[in-house]
Amino acid sequence: MKQRKMGSLDWPVSALGFGAMRLPGRRFNRLVPDQAKSSAIIRSGIDQGINYVDTAYVYPGSERAVGEALKDGYRERVHLVTKLPVFLTRKSEDFDKYLATSLERLQTHYLDAYLLLEQLADVYRRRMAVPCTACRYCMPCPYGVNIPQNFAIWNNVSMNDKGWQSGRIKRSYRKLARTPAKVNLEKPNGSAAVCTKCRACVPKCPQEIDIPNELVKCEAALR
């Protein structure tokens, strides 16, 4: 693998880097990375000489998937970069909050660079149905609603303007449990229809999403 100097930094970086915005998704929810496939691709790239891995706080599931993939000595072999969601940052404390979350997801105590993500943010935000980043702080739901999965499916439909693909994505929503009797509390599989509006999730959400009310909208959009 050829290497080049990265701008003004004294880094020898591979001519090809690995961008982790779109990792292989699970069969019925493309916004949730398939960990086995993601790890295999990332590690294969590193084994062939890639030493620059790029992700971001807002890439659904990406930071956690990258963190898992970089275990077993792979972290030390790369320059790891993620991005601050500038469009979500309102006060100075937010910088520390988002950085700490990224480090926890990536399972590392340092980054090689921390970039500012702002370009195209407004376009992305307008197309999202709900600003959920799949951090999973809202989980577990006491009634078995898989909140991040519901929102991921809704966002996937909202951001996909091809009718036949939207229909396929909606079918994955209909596979979720729609009654309490079918909910698996150990492996939450509940749809938005199961939400009781108990609001236990609301204070846990770093995005300050009114989760119960958004789940009502999610159910209306996807049922």
pLDDT in tens, the chain (223 residues): 999 988 888 889 999 999 998 898 877 666 789 999 999 999 999 999 999 999 999 898 999 999 999 999 999 999 999 999 887 888 889 999 999 999 999 999 999 999 987 655 666 777 889 999 888 899 999 999 999 999 999 998 888 766 666 788 888 999 999 999 999 999 999 999 999 999 999 999 988 999 999 999 999 999 8
pLDDT confidence of residue 141: 96
pLDDT confidence of residue 25: 84
pLDDT confidence of residue 121: 60
pLDDT confidence of residue 122: 66
Provide long-range contacts, Cβ within 8 A and 24+ apart, for 118-125. 118/86, 118/87, 121/85, 121/86, 121/87, 122/87, 124/58, 125/87
What domains does the chain contain, in order, with CATH numbers? 3-122 (3.20.20.100), 128-222 (no CATH)
pLDDT confidence of residue 161: 64
Sign of CA dihedral 135, 106, 35, 155: positive
pTM exceeds 0.85: no
CA proximity to 61, closest of 92, 44, 37: 37
